[in-house]
Amino acid sequence: MRAARERAVAANEALQGAVDRARDAGHSWREIGEVLGTTRQAAFQRFGHPVDPRTGTPMSHDVPDAAAARAVELLTRLTLGRWDDVVSEFDDRMRERVDARRLAGGWAHTVGMVGRFERMGEPFAHRAGDDTMVDVPLHFEAGDGVGSVRFDRDGKVAGLLLRPATAAPPVPPDPSR
Boundaries of every domain in the chain: 2-47, 67-164
Mean pLDDT of 160-174: 65
Judged against a pLDDT cut of 90, whether residue 137 lies above it is answered with yes
Mean pLDDT of the chain: 87
Q: pLDDT at residue 71 above 50?
A: yes
Helix or strand (DSSP H, E) at 52: none
Pairwise pLDDT comparison (92 vs 60), residue with the higher score: 92
Residue 157 and residue 94 in contact, taking contact as beta carbons nearer than 8 Å: yes
Using the predicted structure, report yes or no on whether residue 124 has a pLDDT greater than 90: no
Q: Is the pLDDT of residue 155 over 70?
A: yes
- Between the ranges 35-44, 82-91, 125-134, where is the mean pLDDT highest? 82-91
Architecture of domain 67-164: Roll (3.10)
Q: Which residues contact 110 (CB under 8 A, 6 or more apart)?
A: 140, 145, 162
Q: How confident is the model at residue 176 (pLDDT cuts 50, 70, 90)?
A: low
Distance CA 14, CA 124 (A): 16
Q: How far apart are CA 137 and CA 75, in angstroms?
A: 10
Residue 58 has pLDDT above 80, yes or no: no
Average pLDDT score over residue span 42-50 = 82
Separation CA 121–CA 135 (nearest Å)? 10
- How large a percentage of the chain has pLDDT more than 70? 89
Model confidence at 32, pLDDT cuts 50, 70, 90, reads very high
Within 13 Å and on the Cβ side, how many CA atoms surround 9? 6
Q: What confidence score (pLDDT) does residue 168 get?
A: 47
Q: Is the pTM of this model over 0.85?
A: no
